[in-house]
């Protein structure tokens, strides 16, 4: 049995879950998410969701844990939300935002202006003496991760000086460089 798949999911107060026609919908105070599923039986009883599979085939075992994780992330997202924080390390690296437009200065000749999806709220934090940070918040975990990965992709952290855009708390493997 899948260790992740057989764990039941508890639905917190304020979240409504609806299951019909291979589609599960979670509604909460932050938003609404839907997920398609196949080959797995999902039951909702007394505020807990359980997932079961019909056989022990390899693809069914994989889907069992996958759908359980996706549904748990949906429920946590519409009740609490998801946050990713990025840190900009480097001289002259700056970030600012006007609404949903993110303006990044990361060492190129022109600033990068990125339109952020309306479901994701963006906040830039610039404290004196500290590296600028970008805080992304949304109810959709996949969307937050995708936007954060796109921002990080503009200037990945390099291993010699550690300059670039990195996740807060991310460890960068450093290299020694030339030895004279």
Span 17-44, pLDDT tens digits? 999 999 999 999 999 999 999 999 999 9
In the chain, where are the structural domains located?
9-79, 82-167
Asked if the domains 9-79 and 82-167 are classified in one and the same CATH topology, the answer is yes
The values of phi and psi at residue 150, to 5°, are -65, -45
Q: How confident is the model at residue 82 (pLDDT cuts 50, 70, 90)?
A: very high
Q: Which CATH architecture has domain 82-167?
A: Alpha-Beta Complex (3.90)
- Residues whose CB falls within 8 Å of the CB of residue 119, separated by 6 or more in sequence, listed in order: 31, 138, 139, 140, 143
pLDDT over threshold 80, residue 168: yes
* 3-state DSSP assignment of residue 131: coil
pLDDT digits (tens, 9 = 90+) for 115-127: 999 999 999 999 9
Give, in words, the CATH class of 9-79. Answer: alpha beta
Structure tokens at 38: 């196949």
pLDDT at 170: 93
Q: How confident is the model at residue 94 (pLDDT cuts 50, 70, 90)?
A: very high
Nearest to 103 by CA among 112, 92, 93, 116: 112
pLDDT over threshold 60, residue 2: no
pLDDT over threshold 70, residue 89: yes
Rounded Cα distance, 158 and 156, in Å:
6
């Amino acid at each position: 049995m899948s260790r992740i798949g057989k764990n039941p999911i508890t639905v917190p107060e304020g979240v409504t879950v609806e299951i019909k026609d291979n589609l599960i919908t979670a509604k909460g105070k932050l938003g609404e998410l839907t997920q398609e599923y196949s080959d797995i039986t999902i039951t909702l009883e007394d505020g807990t969701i359980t997932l079961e599979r019909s056989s022990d085939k390899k693809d069914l075992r994989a889907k069992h844990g996958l759908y359980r994780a996706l549904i748990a992330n949906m429920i946590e997202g519409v009740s609490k939300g998801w946050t990713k924080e990025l840190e900009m390390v480097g001289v002259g690296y700056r970030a600012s935002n006007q609404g949903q437009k993110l303006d990044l200065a990361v060492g190129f000749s022109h600033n990068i202006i990125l339109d952020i999806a309306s479901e994701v709220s963006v906040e830039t934090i610039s404290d004196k003496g500290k590296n600028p940070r970008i805080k992304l918040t949304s109810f959709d975990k996949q969307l937050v991760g995708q936007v954060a990965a796109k921002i990080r992709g503009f200037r990945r952290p390099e291993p010699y000086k550690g300059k670039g855009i990195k996740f807060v708390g991310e460890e960068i493997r450093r290299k020694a460089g030339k030895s004279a």
